[in-house]
Homo-oligomer: A and B are copies of this chain.
Amino acid sequence: MKVSMLSALGKRSTEPPISWLMQAALSRPKLISLAAGFTDNESLPLEETRALMNRILRSPESGRASLQYGSTAGDPALRELTAAYLHRLDRSTIHHSITPSVHSPSRLLITSGSQQLLYMTTEALCDEGDIVLVEDPTYFVYLGIVQSRGLRARAVRLERDGLDLAHLENVLDSLQRAGELRRVKLLYLVSYFQNPTGVTTSFEKKSAALKVLKKFEAAAGHPIYLLEDAAYRELRFRGDDVPSALVIRGAAERVIYAGTFSKPFATGARVGYGFLPEPLFTTVKHIKGNHDFGTANLLQQFYARALASGIYAKHVARLQKRYAHKARVMHEALEKYFPPAVEWWEPEGGLYFWARLPRHITSGPKSKVFQTALKNDVLYVPGGICYADDPARRKPDNGMRISFGNASEADIREGIRRLGAVLSKLV
C-alpha cells in the first residue's frame, strides 16, 4: 500500500545520481569539490544587482509592475530585449544578413531557468516510450527528465568538434530498420562547451545534423526537432562565437533554442528563455500556464534592466575573463600533476574539463580512483552518470568531469594536485 498510489512518472522519478555526491561533500568539511556545476562565487554581481533592484523599486511605476503578476509568456519588454540580444549575438557571427523573424519575440517564452524549457518542451513532444537522441555523453539532468518520463534515449557519438554526423545517420538508419522512427521526436544538443565534455558543435555540423533529421522526417511521419541547449554560450573565453542553429536556413520550423540569463549573470536569479517554432510555442506556453502561469516578474524586470542598461553585457565580459583565468589555472595544474596516460580536452568556454582514464581503469563511485580521491578530500563527477541507457553500446566508465566554476584558484591547484597524486598511483 505504501507507494502504489504513485503515478508511473512518480515511480520513475528517483534520486538523481548527483545527490549522493553532494551528500559526500557535506560530510567532509575539508573536501575540495571540483564536482559542483556552481558558478564563480567571488564574481557574483552583488553591487550590480543591488543597483538594479533599487532602480526598479524606487519608481512606483516599474516597482509595481515588478511586484505584480505578469503574463504566462513573459514580460513583453524582456521578450523584446532578449530577442534583440540574441539577434545581435548571432549577427556578429556571420556575414550574410539574418531574417529578423528568426529572432522574433513573438515566439520567445520566458522561463524559470532554461531547465524548465527543457522539461516543458519534452513534455509537449514526447509520450512514454518515445525516443530522444542525445550526445554521448550528455547533460545528466536531461537524462533525469528522460528517465522520469519513461522515454528512451539513443546516444550519438561526440567528436572534438561536436556531433559525429555519420553516427547520427547510422542511429537513425537502425531506428528506421527497427520500425521505431515514428517514436523519434528530437535531438537534444548541448551545443556550446557541452556539459560534461566542453565540446562545441560547429555551425557546419549543426546545419548538417538538421539536414540529417529532415531526411528522416518523411519516414517518421512528423517533424524531428533540434533542441539546442545554449546554456553555456556566453561563457566563451577563447575563439569566436558560433552562430546558433536558429540561423540555419529553414531552421525556423525545426529549431528550439534554450538560453539562460542566470548562468552568465547570477544563478540565484533564475530566468531562462526559449525560441520555439509554432505550434510548439503555443503548446509550451499553455503547459507553462499549468506549471506556474509565468516566471517571477521581479526577476524578469531585473534582467530587462540589466540588458537595457548594458550592465548585463559588462558583467558577462568580466566573467569571461575570470573563467579564462581559472581555466588556465586548471590547465596548468593538469599538465603538472596528471599522469600522461590520462587524456583531457581543453575547453574554449564553459565550466568544465573532461578527462578520460585509460580504458581499463574506471572512475565510477565505487572505483578505486573515486574512493581514494574522496579519502584525499577531492571530488569530481564520475563520467558514467552522463551516459544515457542505450542498449547499442556499453556505457563508458572512465570519464571525469572536473569543474573550475566554483572552486577558488588555490583549491583548483590543490584539488588537481591531490587528484593527480591519486591517478599517478592508480593509473
Contact B54 A5 (CB under 8 A): no
Contact A148 B286 (CB under 8 A): yes
Partner of A115, one of B126, B270, B287, B292: B292
Chain B residues in 8 Å Cβ range of A27: none
Contact B5 A144 (CB under 8 A): no
Interface 9-residue window, one of A160-168, A261-269, A393-401, A407-415: A261-269
Contact A112 B115 (CB under 8 A): no
Contact A270 B292 (CB under 8 A): yes
Contact B68 A39 (CB under 8 A): yes
A77 contacts chain B at the CB level, 8 A cutoff: no
Question: Using an 8 Å CB-CB cutoff, how does the interface string of A276-287 with B read, 1 for contact, 0 for none?
Answer: 000110010011
Partner of A67, one of B13, B49, B54: B49
Given A57-B53, A127-B8, A287-B148, is A266 in contact with B299 using a C-beta cutoff of 8 Å?
Answer: no
Partner of A268, one of B66, B123, B126: B66
Chain A residues 60 to 83 lying within 8 A of chain B, measured CB to CB, are 60, 63-71
A21 contacts chain B at the CB level, 8 A cutoff: no
A6 contacts chain B at the CB level, 8 A cutoff: yes
9 extra A-B contacts, CB within 8 A, seeds A14-B286, A49-B63, A268-B298: A6-B279, A16-B286, A41-B68, A44-B68, A49-B298, A112-B292, A116-B291, A119-B291, A148-B286
Chain B residues in 8 Å Cβ range of A141: 289-290, 293
**Which 7 interchain pairs have the tightest Cβ spacing?**
A268-B297, A5-B222, A10-B124, A50-B57, A46-B63, A67-B266, A67-B268
Measured CB to CB, the nearest residue on chain B to A39 is: B68
Partner of A46, one of B38, B47, B57, B280: B57
Given A286-B13, A286-B15, is A123 in contact with B292 using a C-beta cutoff of 8 Å?
Answer: no
Chain B residues in 8 Å Cβ range of A1: 221-223
Chain A residues 319 to 364 lying within 8 A of chain B, measured CB to CB, are none
20 A-B pairs in the complex with CB atoms less than 8 angstroms apart: A6-B125, A7-B126, A10-B125, A10-B283, A13-B283, A15-B286, A38-B69, A44-B64, A46-B60, A46-B63, A46-B64, A50-B54, A50-B63, A53-B54, A53-B57, A144-B290, A145-B290, A270-B292, A270-B296, A291-B291
**Residue of A64, A116, A289, A292 most packed against chain B (CB within 10 A):** A292
A45 contacts chain B at the CB level, 8 A cutoff: yes
Given A69-B38, A286-B15, A298-B268, is A115 in contact with B291 using a C-beta cutoff of 8 Å?
Answer: yes
Shortest C-beta distance, A238 to chain B (Å), equals 25
Partner of A5, one of B2, B185, B267, B291: B185
Chain B residues in 8 Å Cβ range of A13: 124, 283, 286-287, 289-290
Chain A residues 1 to 42 lying within 8 A of chain B, measured CB to CB, are 1-10, 13-16, 22, 37-39, 41
Contact B67 A267 (CB under 8 A): yes
Measured CB to CB, the nearest residue on chain B to A124 is: B10
A215 contacts chain B at the CB level, 8 A cutoff: no
Question: Using an 8 Å CB-CB cutoff, how does the interface string of A226-253 with B read, 1 for contact, 0 for none?
Answer: 0000000000000000000000000000
**Residue of A2, A14, A16, A69 most packed against chain B (CB within 10 A):** A69
A130 contacts chain B at the CB level, 8 A cutoff: yes
Chain B residues in 8 Å Cβ range of A318: none
Chain B residues in 8 Å Cβ range of A123: 7, 9-10
